[in-house]
Structure formats: C-alpha cells, structure tokens
Amino acid sequence: MNFKEELQNKQAAVNAMMERALTFIPDVNRDVIFEAMRYSAIDAGKRIRPVLAMAAAEALSGDGEKALPFGCSLEMIHCYSLIHDDLPAMDNDDLRRGKPTNHKVYGEGMAVLAGDALLTHAFSWLFSQPAPPEQLVAIGKILSDAAGVDGMLGGQVIDIAFEGKPVEEATLYDLHRRKTGALLLAAVQIGAVVAGKPDALNIYGKNIGLAFQVQDDILDVIGDEALLGKPIGSDAKNQKTTFVTLYGLDGAKELLHSITEKAVDSLSPFGEKAAFLRELALYLENRVL
C-alpha cells in the first residue's frame, strides 16, 4: 500500500461526495446560504474524519466506500462547528485554513445560519442514504451524541468556562476528549458500524482523538504559520492551559508518541487490512498542518 496515494484517493472521494451533498437547486433568494455553507465545507481541510470513517470500515470489512456518505455527515458537523467557533462572540478569529472566516465574508448573522444549516443538512443527508434503517439510526445516534452537550459542544462549553483561567490536568483531558476527541472517535465508530462491528476500534479511536489535540497544541508552539494557514502562539497569547504548558514541549511530544503507539498496537488483531489506519495514526502524529 502506498499511504500517500491512498490518502489522496480517499480525500478525493470525500471531496466529490461533499460536492454532491452540498449541491442545491439555485434560488435567487437563498443562494447566499448555499454559498456560505459551501465556502466552509467545500475544498476545505484534510477531511480526516470521513477518511477515518472509510479507513475504519475498510479495516474491518474490506469495504470503505459504504462509510463515505456518513463520514460526509460528520464532516458537515465538523465544518459547522468551525464556523460557530470563529464567531466574534466565540473565538473571534479572522482566518481559517488560510482564508477569511465565514462571518468575515458573509456577516455574522449569515455565519450563524450557515453553521446551523450545515448541522441540519448533516442529518438530512444521513436520512437520504439508502442504507438499512437500523444502520441509519445507529449512525445518527453516534453523530448526534458526539456533536452534542456530552460531546463536542460540551467540550466547547468547558473551553469557554475556563477562558483565561488555569485548567487542571483531569479537566484538560475531559475538555479535549469531548471537544476534539468525540468527533474523531465517532468517525471510527461510524466506519465500524457500517462494517457490522460497532465497538471494534474504540481504543484506536480514543487514542488518535487525544493525539490529534496534543499535536494541535504542539503545532501552536512550533508550527509553520504559512502551512497552518493561521497564526501560531494563540494559546500562549490567551494564557491557555495546553498539553504543552502542562508537560512542556518534550513531555507533550512523548505523550503524543505513546498514545499513537497505543492506537497502532490496538490494530494488531486486524493485520494487513488495518495498514492504512496504522499509517494514518503515524501521519497524524507527524502532521505539520
């Protein structure tokens, strides 16, 4: 397997399906919302979550394609969360992925609506899939729970609650298990549900979910602004507790390495079919954006 090539193939498949999922019948009065939704969801980001969903299904059943539409629902939820996170009332960010944030282009009101619309469309798209109803319900439950107050939104709330205040170690883990980890675990679980083995990859999913955030914290210190498409040093500026402030840069790197290893080790029962998932964990550990 050529990992880079396989990753690009999967990303291309995601991009094609996102394009399909976000194609609307033109309407002069509503075109602006379609445009605002697409601005933040088309040609955007690394598509890690849907790629993970496909790779998880592939590792367990050999067929990753079936997880693709559901991975796209998850990606819409991810994109909505970024639009709302960037709002002036939240993080007040001007740049995202190297271009102006949604509200900078479409205004604050429309950005709120574009986020709402992507979240809602994630479910419309899910319910339009010709999969068995039991599967749609299982996946819908994973999606909504991971996105809600017990998952991503809960993490966001904790993040706001501790703005400018020191965070204890246990709370930091709880925050990121929810804020970043929940959707990444959900991606893996969705792939596993499609393959008929709902909980088979939970250890992998939990560990790469955490690893992703640890690397985020590291990149905010030593990352390349041009590659990241956003300024670094914002955590320090905002006096945020991160895995780097907690353990130091080397300590954070060690943590990153050990949880990535845990993720990789958990794949041993799945042999060669899990090769891509294995490489993906290493890719995420070493990512520069």
Helix (H, G, I), strand (E, B) or coil at 215: helix
Q: Is 98 left (phi over 0), alpha (psi -120 to 50) or beta?
A: left
DSSP 180: I
Beta carbons within 10 angstroms of residue 145's beta carbon:
15
Please report whether residue 87 would count as binding a second copy according to CB under 8 A: yes
Stretch that binds a second copy, among 10-18, 52-60, 109-117, 264-272 (CB under 8 A): 109-117
H or E, element range at 282: helix 275-286
Binders of a second copy in range 125-154 (CB under 8 A): 126-128, 132-134, 136-137, 140-141, 143-145, 147-149, 153-154
Binders of a second copy in range 62-81 (CB under 8 A): 80
Q: Which of 38, 78, 121, 179 binds a second copy (CB under 8 A)?
A: 121
H or E, element range at 96: strand 95-96
Helix (H, G, I), strand (E, B) or coil at 95: strand
Interface mask (CB under 8 A) for a second copy, residues 164-193, using x and -?
-------x--x-------------------
For 89, the token pair is: 């009332």
**Rounded CA separation 93/214 (Å):** 21
Binders of a second copy in range 28-47 (CB under 8 A): 29-30, 32-34, 37
Stretch that binds a second copy, among 39-47, 55-63, 117-125, 185-193 (CB under 8 A): 117-125
Q: Tell me phi and psi for residue 93, to 5 degrees.
A: -100, 145
CA quadruple 222, 227, 231, 236: dihedral, nearest 10: -20
Stretch that binds a second copy, among 84-92, 243-251, 257-265, 269-277 (CB under 8 A): 84-92
Binders of a second copy in range 12-31 (CB under 8 A): 24, 27, 29-30
> Letter for the amino acid at 81?
S
Chain contacts with a second copy (rule: CB under 8 A): 24, 27, 29-30, 32-34, 37, 80, 84, 87, 89-90, 107-113, 115-117, 119-121, 123-124, 126-128, 132-134, 136-137, 140-141, 143-145, 147-149, 153-154, 156-158, 160-162, 171, 174
